[in-house]
């Protein structure tokens, strides 16, 4: 089945395509959507729905009726009362400044012994009639004191996975996909696929 994934993040796109091998995942670039979506929600679910509805309305204007997948995810740190959470990508102020986000996180945790954290993802599958289902996934670990491994996916090089016994920055894509928050949200989404969908 063709599904549009409402993201321009190449790492997320690659991860979702790898997890959902039985579906044809179409990107925003494929359907001609350009520009930013204003994520004004205060929860992962709210932001995922904002993205999904925006792209669904865009598709309707083009005469397309594909379902839309939208993810909102972030890093939640116990000692910081769940921060950066939904603000993970713009924790230090500018959206997508990975190094600034990492440095702010390390500074915030410098004087605490509690480094427990989890990544959370909420994925919505949104249909042209305005109904949707969603899945919620988490993966647990702790924040390291320095960067270890690949730095391209923001906090991955600081997140030591309880499951993998290494940072996500050290993990291969296959290793990460088996335990990631996004994978678990996708599995939860699929379990909910036979349930009554939630209306707007």
How confident is the model over 39-87, as pLDDT tens digits? 899 999 999 999 999 999 999 999 999 999 999 999 999 999 999 999 9
Whether 199 maps to a domain, the answer reads: no
Tally of domains in the chain: 1
Q: How confident is the model at residue 194 (pLDDT cuts 50, 70, 90)?
A: low
Whether 91 maps to a domain, the answer reads: yes
Whether 171 maps to a domain, the answer reads: yes
Query: How far apart are alpha carbons 53 and 126 in whole angstroms?
Result: 7
Q: What percent of the chain is modeled with pLDDT above 90? A: 78
Residue tagged active-site, from 22, 38, 72, 97: 72
Query: Which CATH number fits the domain that encloses residue 75?
Result: 3.90.950.10
Q: How confident is the model at residue 21 (pLDDT cuts 50, 70, 90)?
A: confident
Whether 172 maps to a domain, the answer reads: yes
Whether 200 maps to a domain, the answer reads: no
Task: Give yes or no for residue 195 having a pLDDT over 90.
Answer: no
Strands 2-5 vs 68-77: parallel, antiparallel or unpaired: parallel
Whether 165 maps to a domain, the answer reads: yes
Can 65 be counted among the known catalytic residues?
Answer: no
Whether 187 maps to a domain, the answer reads: yes
Six-digit token string for 111: 């004087």
pTM exceeds 0.85 for this model: yes
Whether 146 maps to a domain, the answer reads: yes
What sign for the dihedral angle of Cα 158, 99, 13, 150? negative
DSSP 131-200: -EEEEEEEEEEEE-SS--S--SSGGGGGEEETTTTEETTTS-HHHHHHH-HHHHHHHHHHHGGGSPPBP-
Domain range for 11: 2-194
């Amino acid at each position: 089945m063709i599904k549009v994934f409402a993201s321009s993040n190449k790492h997320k796109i690659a991860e979702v395509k790898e997890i959902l091998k039985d579906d044809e995942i179409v990107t925003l670039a494929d359907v001609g959507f350009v520009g930013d979506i204003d994520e004004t929600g205060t929860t992962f679910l709210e932001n995922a729905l904002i993205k999904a509805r925006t792209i669904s309305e865009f598709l309707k204007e083009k005469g397309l009726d594909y379902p839309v997948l939208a993810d909102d995810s972030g890093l939640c740190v116990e000692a910081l009362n769940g921060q950066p959470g939904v603000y993970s990508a713009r924790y230090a102020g500018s959206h997508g400044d990975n190094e600034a986000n990492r440095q702010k996180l390390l500074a915030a945790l410098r004087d605490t012994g509690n480094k427990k954290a989890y990544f959370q993802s909420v994925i919505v599958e949104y249909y042209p009639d305005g109904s949707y289902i969603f899945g919620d996934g988490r993966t647990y670990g702790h924040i390291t004191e320095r960067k270890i491994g690949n730095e391209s996916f923001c906090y991955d090089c600081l997140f030591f996975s309880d499951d993998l016994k290494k940072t996500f920055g050290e993990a291969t894509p296959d290793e990460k996909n088996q335990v990631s928050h996004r994978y678990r949200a996708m599995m939860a989404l699929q379990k909910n696929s036979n349930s009554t969908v939630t209306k707007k």
